[in-house]
């Protein structure tokens, strides 16, 4: 599925390609032989103007490719609050605590986009 999101305010336009059903993108040329591309659940690849970033399906284990880019990377200081885990956030919110990071205001948009994509795939398979 290919999505195109228009620019909003100071945020530039974004193109997103979602592979599913056993399909996956071509192995990036920057990924050295012997380096893994995804995991059993798939993975994510972000293609930017200055390079590519790979991570697992949850966004963890992020790494720049080629490996030489990762070795020279200096991470910025951590300024954002880290999640305690989406299940734990949900329980905390249910008990009247802080709102979960993946609350419906955020996750609702993602669900809507994925449902639209699934409907398009189903439509394309009809006779």
Q: Which tens digit of pLDDT belongs to each residue from 14-55?
A: 999 988 777 888 899 999 998 888 877 788 999 988 899 999
Any residues with CB less than 8 A from the CB of 31 and at least 6 apart, and which?
A: 37, 54, 65, 66
H or E stretch including 3?
Answer: strand 2-5
Question: 53, 63 in Cβ contact below 8 A?
Answer: yes
- The bridge status of strand 63-65 relative to strand 14-17 is unpaired
Q: Rounded mean pLDDT of 91-116?
A: 89
* DSSP three-state, residue 112: helix
CA 109, CA 115: separation in Å to the nearest integer? Answer: 10
Q: Where are the alpha helices (H) located in the chain, listed in sequence order?
A: 67-72, 86-94, 104-124
CA 5, CA 16: separation in Å to the nearest integer? Answer: 8
pTM of the model: 0.73
CA 3, CA 113: separation in Å to the nearest integer? Answer: 9
Question: 101, 83 in Cβ contact below 8 A?
Answer: yes
Q: Rounded mean pLDDT of 97-112?
A: 87
């Amino acid at each position: 599925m290919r999505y195109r999101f228009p620019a909003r305010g100071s945020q530039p336009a974004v193109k997103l390609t979602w592979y599913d059903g056993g399909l996956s993108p071509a192995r990036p040329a920057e990924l050295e032989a012997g380096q893994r591309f995804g995991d059993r659940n798939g993975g994510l690849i972000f293609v930017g103007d200055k390079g590519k970033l790979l991570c697992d399906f949850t966004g963890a284990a992020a790494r720049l490719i080629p490996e030489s880019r990762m070795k020279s990377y200096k991470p910025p200081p951590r300024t954002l609050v880290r999640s305690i885990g989406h299940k734990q956030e949900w329980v905390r919110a249910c008990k009247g605590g802080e709102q979960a990071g993946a609350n419906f205001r955020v996750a609702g948009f993602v669900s809507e986009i994925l449902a639209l994509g699934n409907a398009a795939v189903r439509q394309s398979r009809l006779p």
